[in-house]
Chains A and B, each alone.
Chain A
């Protein structure tokens, strides 16, 4: 937990960080990531420059990157108190747990399906 003094400074600090210039910058980043995803999906994979099993993890990493920029800057979580940020982010770990359990389970289901 940060122990910086609150008061007048903190009140100012809450609105710090999102100037118009910064907003346009983040928009550029989000747009850039989406364009990269399209280049991979429409050009690199069909032409065989990247195999599909590489493309999927790349998509997921790029998506998480986009999510980070939206949550941190647009939703302003980066500039909130660390306590609030942790209260929101830590429960997300449960979702990772569910992903791990169900992807593991689904590999098991494949074997249960009737072979055709």
Chain B
């Protein structure tokens, strides 16, 4: 028996030489990442369709004329104020979620609980704002398959031929309600999942398990919802 090990028998320790997971991440967390990747594809196809239809149109409803809702002061003439608030709320709830994850690493049950509650409140506030935004547009006459009358449409466009306004406004309405609706549904499911996880934190499931990894996993989902909103916000409201 010689102490010399031939190079071929040497045990390799690189991530991909077997014996352990090269990603070094728990199964559920990895699967959450791959689910989010597939969801990213779904949202991208929706947003890219929006972009393609918009680029191929000669005119398009101007965001700063369409989105002027502030609760209590409809058509305030202050564009984007309300949606700015919504964006702020969602980013804030993303922050409280990271703080919950951070508290989970320290096994601080109480802190996790309160940050999760804050995240849920943020989620509900966002959904409430979304509902107001929808009802505002609905009162203006926008819905799937319906648009305001020709007289009102004139005030929502900047330039372009009046005869084409109807077609483009209809495309805008369908895409807006479909895409923000799909995103809103994600926020809603996120809130429901957050509530389930918070109940589990409350009854001490994760304290018993010795790890708050589940909080991290729903955290990933919640940040993804925030991430999608960042894109929806840019393409519907800014561009």
Contact = CB atoms under 8 A, between A and B. Distances in A.
Interface of A: 1-3, 5-6, 10, 14-15, 18-20, 23-24, 27, 30-31, 34, 37-38, 40-42, 46, 55-56, 59-60, 62-63, 66-67, 70-71, 73-76, 80-81, 83-84, 87-88, 91-92, 94-95, 98-99, 102-103, 105-107, 109-110, 113, 116
Contact of A92 (B23, B40, B102): B40
B238 A41 contact: yes
Closest CB pairs A-B (n = 7) = A109-B56, A106-B55, A106-B56, A102-B52, A106-B52, A84-B23, A63-B234
B51 interface: yes
Contact of B55 (A94, A95, A103): A103
Interface string B98-124: 110110010000000000000000000
B131 interface: no
21 contacts: A1-B16, A6-B13, A10-B24, A18-B98, A23-B102, A42-B80, A62-B234, A67-B227, A71-B227, A74-B97, A81-B23, A88-B34, A94-B41, A95-B48, A98-B48, A99-B51, A102-B48, A106-B52, A109-B56, A113-B56, A116-B161
B40 to A, nearest CB: 7
Contact of A3 (B14, B23, B30): B14
A59 B87 CA distance: 15
A79 B56 CA distance: 41
Given A63-B234, A98-B48, A106 B37 contact: no
